[in-house]
Structure 1
């Protein structure tokens, strides 16, 4: 028996303590950005408040195919997405081409099996797993590991 998300008390968490290489290309941010992602279906469950994990919202707040912006403790924003298959993704909310924090409002889809979000401004597509821009491989956004707890 599978419970509907709105009947559970699952929360979405982002991992904030991993260090990674900086994204490249126009408007790239400094190193120290979290990278990597683990979806809800294959993710680990842990204690809320566990070191390095930040609870950002309740799972039922993420509608499939729609994004939500979350303010992080250091002032940055993450864009969270729930795929139509239930997989969870999180990327930096800032569009590296314009500098605007808008990726959470972008359209989601797939291209050759790769889930993406398209910026609502200039329409560049970013792979939700890797952060790579599908229209310019020299540009990427940071990604975050995601889990439910």
Structure 2
């Protein structure tokens, strides 16, 4: 395995059990030295977990995990509690102002454990 491929496989950090996350609520974890906001949503019977950076660029505070989870059409989002800006849970992009975003991270669930991987955006 190449060093680059090895680095990608070791970037995944176990964070918690998916059952420890409340549905439609945020939780904060320290992952790769960064404060990450985790969100668990249900799609039918399946759990979907998203990870965003916890720092709100408008409020300049770590509050994203305290936001309100919602849906606009087919876009799952979290609205920051500080200024109510909505961020797409899949990409981190602000829905009201495309010039702003928060980091989005890869997430996988294996055997009930949530793993956060590399930054996507």
Please classify the TM superposition score into its range, dividing by the shorter chain length.
0.7 to 0.9
Shift, 1:67, TM fit? 0.6
- Residue of 121, 126, 134 corresponding to 2:82: 121
Give the alignment's TM-score, normalised by structure 1: 0.64
Task: Give the distance between the partners of 1:57 and 1:102, measured in 2 at CA.
Answer: 20
Whole-angstrom CA distance in 1 between matches of 2:91 and 2:31: 20
Query: How far is the alpha carbon of 1:146 from its aligned partner?
Result: 0.2
Tell me the distance in 2 between the aligned counterparts of 1:73 and 1:131. Answer: 18
Alpha-carbon offset, residue 84 of structure 1: 2.6
How far did 1:58 drift?
1.1
1:59 paired with 2:18, answer: yes
Q: What is the Cα deviation at residue 99 of structure 1?
A: 1.5
Q: Which residue of 2 aligns with 1:10?
A: none
Q: Which has the higher helix share?
A: 2
How many aligned positions are there? 101
Q: CA RMSD in A?
A: 1.4
Q: What residue number does 1:108 align with?
A: 69
| Correspondence for 1:77 among 35, 38, 58 | 35
User: What runs of 5+ residues in structure 2 fail to find an aligned partner?
Assistant: 1-6, 111-121
Residues in 1 aligned to 2:41 and 2:86: alpha-carbon distance in whole angstroms: 15
Deviation at 1:59, TM superposition (A): 1.0
Structure possessing the higher relative contact order (Cα contacts under 8 Å, 6 or more residues apart): 1
